[in-house]
Every structure is written in C-alpha cells, then in structure tokens.
Amino acid sequence: MLFNEEVFKRKNEYGGSIEVICGSMFSGKTEELIRRLKRAQIAKLSVEIFKPKTDTRYDETDIVSHNANTIHSTPVESASAILLLGSNAQIVGIDEAQFFDAELPEVCNKLANKGIRVIVAGLDMDYTGKPFGPLPAIMAMAESVTKVHAVCVICGKPALYSYRLIENDTKILLGEKESYEPRCRTCYLLDKKVSA
C-alpha cells in the first residue's frame, strides 16, 4: 500500500506534461490552443495564458486566431516571467513560442515538473524552412506533439512551409496574408529554385 501512496504523491508532484501544437502559418495552431484552453476553463481549472509582448498583430493582450477567436492572455517580455506568473496554475498556455528566448524550454520543463499541464503553440520552422527559436527543443521534451497543416495556396496539398512573399531577410517579420502564404514542400521548393 505504501508504494501506491508514493506513486500517487509523485503523480501529483510530477504529473504535469508538455503539449506542443506546431505547423506553418495559417495552419490553425492558435485556434487549437484556444480550443484546448477554453475546454480547461469550462472544466473550471486554473488557467494562465501567455504570449510574447512583441506580438501585437491583432491585439495588445488577447491571443487572436486568424479566424478571429480570442482568449485573454498576459503579454510577457521573457520566458522567465511565465515561470513567475504561471507557477500556481493547473494549465499554462503559451502562444507564438518561436518568439520567446532560449530559456522557454527550461521554463516549460520546470512548470511540467511541478505538475502543471503546459500547452505550447508556435511555428516549428522559419520562412527559410529551418527550425525556429526554442520550439524544436520543447518538441523534443514534450509528451505530445500535434503538427497541424495549412492548405497550399498553389496546389491545395497539405502545407508545412510559411512562404515569405516580400523581400526581407530579417528572421522575425510579423505579418499576415500580405507577407506570407502556406506552401507544400513541392511548391515551396519550386518557387525557391525559380527565384534563386
């Protein structure tokens, strides 16, 4: 019986988890994050939601999907602020993870080790098709990874790339449909070869 009590105690102490929702732009990452967080709120769980302070595309504080679904969040400047502000929640949601500093994977791990369910959404690749920010490291330590796909605007196949439409070499460029479009591997690579 002592073993079962110890397992139960450890499950409460270490029973958190990390879930990642990733994909290209326009794939429904934020939509899925909002869906999971709203379900947690309906269940009357304690939920804290964060986004990078730099992401002001739709709203200063709320997380807003491309479909205009919203949920209130706390904009923060660094990953360490999430650890400070989210430590007493049962669920912590993080949007636009790729824009956070390199400390985010460790923050997610610490929260999960405290028994918190951490749900992270973000781009897994930048516009050049390379791993983006801290998200790949979080994916490696996550219990579950959901890769969502947009629809390629050229051929209609599942899209996993965020193709940048404008000439700009900066790694981070906030934008919407005027700056990016989803592409499948073939259409992404064909256009890269033509423009090279």
Catalytic annotation, residues: 96
DSSP one-letter string for 79-95: HHHHHHHHTT-SEEEE-
DSSP one-letter string for 154-175: TT-SEE-EEEE-S----S----
- 3-class state of residue 41 by DSSP: helix
Neighbours of 169 (CB within 10 A): 8
End-to-end CA distance of the chain: 67
Q: How far apart are CA 177 and CA 150, in angstroms?
A: 13
